Amino acid sequence: MLIGHEIQNRYFDTQISTNCIHRAYLLEGIKGLGKATFARAISQKILGGSDAESLMRAGSHPDFTELKIQEDTKTGKLRRDITRDQVEKLLIFMMRHPVIAKHKVVLIDAADDLNLNAANNLLKWIEEPRPNTCVLMVAHRPEKLLPTIRSRCTRIVFKPLSKSDFDIFAEQNELPNTTAFYELSGGVPGQAITMNDPNVQKVNALMAGLVQKQFQADPLEINQSVSALLPSIDLEGLATSFRLLRYNLRIAAGQGANARVAGIAAKAYTLAQGREAQAKSLNVDPKHVLVSTLLDLRDLSREGRADG
């Protein structure tokens, strides 16, 4: 069941009912909003027919395929990106005429994962598409895509759920529906599921404690705490940790009763944002980034107290 995104849903309903389906759509928005789930629901509508849902679920619909990062047969691990070979096979699929539906539909989850060669190969099809074909591309970071691909797609922007829609999602998934949890997750369903994990709640408690103490903890204690809670942190875990840190800093920055503490928290928030952006663009150890950021916030807090 789709929750929220009513405007986007109505838009596609109009496109389908008037037979004005475009060759390529770019579904944009931060990760965790349910864009891929939405795209599968729209794919089912485009394909039509009473058997579309069951065939898609079984992975046997002859007019639907999904492109995503595959496992490396040599290492058994997921590849870093979607390759040109995968797109070559996709184009063969797209060249064929629909079998049981009026259209052939491709879901790319996510288009951000296309490597340069794969993206250039896909661009050729988007520039000269076959009739009755449609590509739905999920994009968490559309700025990573080739500008020529973005310019040739109909761009559909997705935003976090409203509080009322989030409450419905929370109830269906047995999640807290408090205002605090809504703010913590940012109204993003995927983030809400992550934030409800007991281990993530422990990390949140660590961040809340450090913020409350204005990061005045022994460096060894900080390092040991992070190592205990996040023994094998990856970039995804780093992003979650920074989200929790920013959330607690935002609370501290909004507490106007202590202007000095609020000022330090606001500066710390900006520093944490910069470090997260740096970590995404550089090949660095996530654990080192997190620990060094917490230690720098400790020094920042000391400087703020000295100035005060």
Q: Domain of 85: which CATH number? A: 3.40.50.300
Q: What residue numbers bound the domain in which 275 lies?
A: 197-307
Regarding whether 302 and 202 lie in a shared domain, the answer is yes
Residue 180 lies in a domain: no
Rg, C-alpha atoms of the chain? 23
pLDDT above 60 for 147: yes
Note whether 34 and 89 are same-domain residues.
Answer: yes
| pTM, full prediction | 0.83
**Residues 268, 136: one domain?**
no
**Most confidently predicted of 34-43, 203-212, 228-237, 255-264:** 34-43
Q: Could you tell me if 20 and 100 lie in one domain?
A: yes
Single-letter residue type at 126? I
Q: What is the pLDDT of residue 277?
A: 77
User: Is residue 277 in a domain?
Assistant: yes
Q: Please indicate, yes or no, whether residues 123 and 203 belong to a single structural domain of this protein.
A: no
The mean pLDDT value of the chain amounts to: 88
* Two structure tokens written together for 148: 């020529």
165 vs 3, 63, 113, 168, CA distance in Å?
Answer: 6, 32, 29, 5
Whether 190 is in a domain gets the answer: no
Number of domains in the chain: 2
Extract the tokens encoding 109: 């989850």
Residue 154 has pLDDT above 90, yes or no: yes
pLDDT at 127: 87
**Residue 49 scores a pLDDT above 70:** yes
